[in-house]
Structure 1
Amino acid sequence: MFIGREKELSQLNHIYNSGKFEFAVIYGRRRVGKTAIINQFIKDKAAICFTGVETNEKQNLENFSRAVFQFSTGIETDTVFNSFQSALEYVFEISINKRIVLCIDEYPYVARSSKSLASTLQLLIDKYKDKSKLFLILCGSSMSYMEDNVLAYKAPLYGRRTAQLKILPFEFKEACNYFPKLSDEEKALAYGIVGGTPQYLLLINDKLSIEDNIKNIYLSPVSSIFEEPNNLLKQEVREPAIYNAIISAIATGSSKLSEISSKIGENTSVCATYIKNLVSLGIIKKELPYGDVSVRKTIYSIEDNMFRFWYRFIPENTSIISRGAVDLAYSRIAPHLSEYMGAVFEEICKQYLWHELLKGNTPVNFSDLGRWWGNNPKTKQQTEIDIMGTEGKEKAIFGECKWTNADIDTGVLDTLVERSELFNFNSKHLYLFAKNGFTQGCIEKAKEYKNVTLVNYADILNEK
C-alpha cells in the first residue's frame, strides 16, 4: 500500500522531465519509505534498480551486473563486468540516446566495499553529463555516511548532484491516512505511539482499539517492533549500549547534558559526542528556549515518537512482557498515556500553525516555532510557553496546548496572557489549543481580548 508522498514524487518527475543528465541524492532514516518512493516513481519508466548489500565488492558487482544485463537484454545472465567502472560506463553509454533511470539503493553498502566507487562516479559524470540522458539516483539510509561522503564539501561527488531529497517521517495529518477507521482521539494516540514512519504506521490496525494496538505492537515479545530500537541502533552505531542508555535517560526525564551524564555514568564530553550522533539520526532533538542562544540552556528530547514511546514504557516492563503478562504491562502504561500525549499534542499544534501560515491564515508571519522557558521575574519561578514564534522584533504569537478531557477554562487563558507579557512586542496574538473544547467563560473572555484564537483538536483534524 503506497500512501502520500505526492510532493516528493512531483519533484522527482519534474527532474526526470528535464530530459538531460540528472543526479539526485535521496536519503533518510531507515523505514521512512525511501525505496517505496523510488519504486512508485520508476514503475512506468525505463529503470535499472540495484540494491547494495553489506558484503564485499565482488558480490555487489555481480549483483549490479545482473541488474544491468537484465535491463539491457531482458534475460538473466551470470555475465559479470570486470569492474564497477566498466559497468557504470556501459550504463552511461546506453543512456546517450535513451532516458534511463539508474538507482543505486543502499549506496553506502556498495561504496564501503568499493572504495573507488565515488571517484569513479565523479569521473563518469564529468565525462558524460553533457551528452547522457541518465537520471542517476543514489539512495541511502545511513544518514551520517550520505551527509559526510556524498553531500559534504570534501566528498568526491560534491557539486555533481542536481537535486537532493531528505525523506522525513509523515506529519500527523498525513499519518492519519493509514488509519481512517480510528476515532478522532485514537488517531492522535496512534500517531503518538508510532510516529510518522510509514513502516510503523502500517502496524496500526484501525479495526482494533488503541489498547489492543499497543498490546500487539509493543507488548508482545514476537512483535516486529519489540526489539526495533535496539536493532536500528546496531545498524547505525558502533556502541549501541551507550546510545541506549542516553535515550533511556532522556525518555525518563533527564533533559540537560549534565543530568544525562550523571544518569548514565559517563562524562559530559563523551555524552556530547553520542548525543550529536543521535541528533543527526533524527532520534533526539536539541532545544533552546525560543530566541535564546545560550548553550548552557540546551535541553534534549526524543524527536521520534516510536522511540519516545518505546523507551518511556518498554524497558521498565521488559521482564513482565517477556513472561507474557500483557494485561499487567498495559495497566502500568495506561495511567500515563494522557501525560505522554502532552508533548505529542504540542507537535500536532505546531504542524497546524505551519499549515495555517502557508495558507496565509496567521496574524503573525513567523519564521520559526519553538518552546520557551525561563524565569518569571514577577513570580520568581521558572515558567514555560508551549509555542512561540516571532515576525521580526514587532510581532509574536504565543500558544498553550492542553490534552485534557476537561474543557479549557479562563485560568489557562489568563496564564498565557500573563506569560506573554514577559516579552515586549508591539503586536501579540495568542492561541489556545484544546483536546475537547473551551468553557463558555473562556470563549467570552477570548472575544474580549480580541487577539486570541481558540482551536479545538477537531479543528486541526478537519483542516483542509
Structure 2
Amino acid sequence: MTQSRREFASCPWRRTGIEAETSFLSFQSALEYVFKLSGKKRMVLAIDEYPYITRSSKSLASTLQLLIDKYKDTSKLMLILCGSSMSYMEDHVLAYKAPLYGRRTAQIKLLPFDFEETCRCFRRFSDEEKALIYGVVGGTPQYLLQIDDRLSVEDNIKKTCLNPASPIYEEPANLLKQEVREPAIYNAVITAIATGASRMSEISSKVGEDVNVCSSYIKNLLTLGIVQKEIPYGEKTSKKTIYAIGDNMFRFWYRFVPENNSIIARGAADLAYKRIAPHLSDYMGRTFEEICRQYLWELLLNKKSPVQFSFLGRWWGTDPKKRSQSEIDIMGEQNKDTALFAECKWTNEKVDLGVLEKLAERSNLFTHQNKYLYLFSKSGFTRGCIEKARKRGNVFLISYRDILKEFQL
C-alpha cells in the first residue's frame, strides 16, 4: 500500500464512516447522520461555542432534543456542548425551560487555573514574577498564552494590557458586550469597584446611579462571576456587605487601564506603566491573600492543617474595646472551640512583632479556646517576631517561599 493510501485509510473521517466531501442540507440531517453512526460504536461529537451556532440556527436546541429522545436507547454518542457565554449556557441549556433540560448526564464549569497551576506554565519567571503575573492576568489559559516568560513582568504588562493591538487589551470590554445589553453602565460599576468602592452606597455614588439601579447591575455581574459578594465571616446576612472583582484580569484592567486610556491610545506604554508601578505592591495585597487561602486549602487536603475548616473568609467589624473598625484577612473554623486567624503581608519589609501582636489581639474578639495564628509574608520575619512565635507555640510564620515549597514549585 502506498503512503498516500495508508494516510487515506487512517484519516479520522474514514474511521467514523463519513465519506470525504459529504454535505448536508441542514443541521438536523447532519446530526441525525452522526447519531445513526454512533449506534454501532462509541463516538464523541463536540460542538464548540454552542451559543454562536444556535444564534444562526434557532431550531438547533429543539433538533438536539428531538434526536436525543429518538436515539437515547440505541446511540452510543457522547455529545459535548461547549460555550464561553456563561449566561447563555445557563439560560438556554441548563435552565428548566430550556429544550435540553433534563437530558444532560454531566456538566462541567471550567474554572481558571489556580496559582499553583499558573506557576507551572512559566519556568523562566522568578518566584515574585510568578505571583505578579497571576495578579495581572489570573489563571485563564487564553490570557496566559499571551505572556512570554522570557520577558520581564513590566514588558509583559506593556505588551498585553497597555498595548491597543494586544488581544488582551479589549478582552474585558468584549466579554462584557457578549454577556450584557448595556455595557456602559456595567463598565462604570466594575470600574468603581476596581478603584476602591466596595459598598453599595459608594458604588452608587461613583457611578451616579440610584442604589436600586446599581443593585440590579451588580446582581447580573455576580451571576457572571465577574464580581464577588463578601460578608464578614460567620454572618449569613449583613449590612456590612462589600463587593470585589473576582477575576484578576478584570481587576487589573479596570483598576489601571481606563484611567490611562488616553496615554495608552497614543502608544505611550512606558509612561502608563510608570504611573501604574507605584501601586502594584498595594494591588497585589488581595492577590497574595488569595494565594494564602489556596495554601491553607492545600494543607487541609494534605492533612497538615491543625484546623479542619470547611470554609475560609475575611472578617471585619467593630472592636468593642477600642470602639474602632477591625479586620482579619483570613479566618476559618473547625467548630466553636477551634479556629485559625491569618494576616497576609505583600511588602518588601519583614513582618515584625507588632503585626503578630495585632493579629493575636484581634483573634481575642472571638471566644474559641484553641486559636492558631498564621502570619504570611512576602519577605520573611524579624527576629523578634520569630522568637515571640516560638514562645507562643500556636503561631505559624509562613513566607512566600514556604508557600512555593508546599506547592512543590
CA–CA separation in structure 2 for the residues paired with 1:179 and 1:74:
43
- Asked if the contact 1:47–1:103 (Cα under 8 Å) also holds between the matched residues in 2, the reply is no
CA–CA separation in structure 2 for the residues paired with 1:238 and 1:138:
24
Q: Counterparts in 2 of 1:59-208, with a 5 A limit?
A: 72-77=17-22, 79-81=23-25, 83-208=26-151
Q: Which amino acid aligns with 1:404?
A: T
Cα separation, partners in 2 of 1:260 and 1:441, compared to 1, 3 Å? same
Residues matched between the structures, number: 398
CA–CA separation in structure 2 for the residues paired with 1:364 and 1:208:
41
- Does residue 405 (structure 1) correspond to residue 342 (structure 2)? The answer is no
Q: Counterparts in 2 of 1:191-340, with a 5 A limit?
A: 191-340=134-283
CA–CA separation in structure 2 for the residues paired with 1:89 and 1:204:
42
CA–CA separation in structure 2 for the residues paired with 1:415 and 1:177:
35
- Asked if the contact 2:46–2:79 (Cα under 8 Å) also holds between the matched residues in 1, the reply is yes
Q: Which amino acid aligns with 1:80?
A: F
- Stretches of structure 1 that go unaligned for 5 or more consecutive residues are 1-44, 49-68
CA–CA separation in structure 2 for the residues paired with 1:434 and 1:47:
53
- Stretches of structure 2 that go unaligned for 5 or more consecutive residues are 1-9
1:121-155: CA deviations, max 9, x gaps?
23322332232111110111111111122122333
CA displacement at 1:70 relative to structure 2? 11
CA–CA separation in structure 1 for the residues paired with 2:268 and 2:93:
47
CA–CA separation in structure 1 for the residues paired with 2:177 and 2:21:
35
Partner in structure 2 of residue 460 of structure 1: 403
- Does residue 444 (structure 1) correspond to residue 398 (structure 2)? The answer is no
CA–CA separation in structure 2 for the residues paired with 1:72 and 1:281:
41
TM-score, with normalisation over the residues of structure 1?
0.82
- Asked if the contact 1:47–1:102 (Cα under 8 Å) also holds between the matched residues in 2, the reply is no
- For residue 430 of structure 1, give the secondary structure of its aligned residue in structure 2: strand
CA displacement at 1:404 relative to structure 2? 0.8
Query: Root-mean-square deviation (CA), in Å?
Result: 2.0
Selected match of 1:372 from 285, 300, 315? 315
Q: Which amino acid aligns with 1:168?
A: L
CA–CA separation in structure 1 for the residues paired with 2:382 and 2:197:
35
CA–CA separation in structure 2 for the residues paired with 1:121 and 1:229:
32
Partner in structure 1 of residue 6 of structure 2: none
CA displacement at 1:46 relative to structure 2? 10
Selected match of 1:387 from 326, 330, 343? 330
- Asked if the contact 1:47–1:100 (Cα under 8 Å) also holds between the matched residues in 2, the reply is no
CA displacement at 1:104 relative to structure 2? 1.3
Q: Which amino acid aligns with 2:21?
A: E
- For residue 384 of structure 1, give the secondary structure of its aligned residue in structure 2: strand
Selected match of 1:434 from 359, 377, 383? 377
CA–CA separation in structure 1 for the residues paired with 2:74 and 2:353:
68
CA displacement at 1:71 relative to structure 2? 5.6
Q: Counterparts in 2 of 1:2-41, with a 5 A limit?
A: none
- For residue 202 of structure 2, give the secondary structure of its aligned residue in structure 1: helix
CA–CA separation in structure 1 for the residues paired with 2:217 and 2:210:
11
TM-score, with normalisation over the residues of structure 2?
0.93
Percent identity among equivalent residues?
Answer: 68
CA displacement at 1:231 relative to structure 2? 1.6
Q: Which amino acid aligns with 1:87?
A: A
Higher relative contact order (CA 8 A, sep 6+): 1
CA displacement at 1:317 relative to structure 2? 1.1
CA–CA separation in structure 2 for the residues paired with 1:73 and 1:294:
57
CA–CA separation in structure 2 for the residues paired with 1:440 and 1:244:
47
Cα separation, partners in 2 of 1:327 and 1:84, compared to 1, 3 Å? closer
- Asked if the contact 1:46–1:99 (Cα under 8 Å) also holds between the matched residues in 2, the reply is no
CA–CA separation in structure 1 for the residues paired with 2:362 and 2:65:
55
CA displacement at 1:426 relative to structure 2? 2.6
- For residue 307 of structure 1, give the secondary structure of its aligned residue in structure 2: helix
CA displacement at 1:171 relative to structure 2? 0.6
1:51-96: CA deviations, max 9, x gaps?
xxxxxxxxxxxxxxxxxx996434124x323x43333222211101
CA displacement at 1:357 relative to structure 2? 0.9
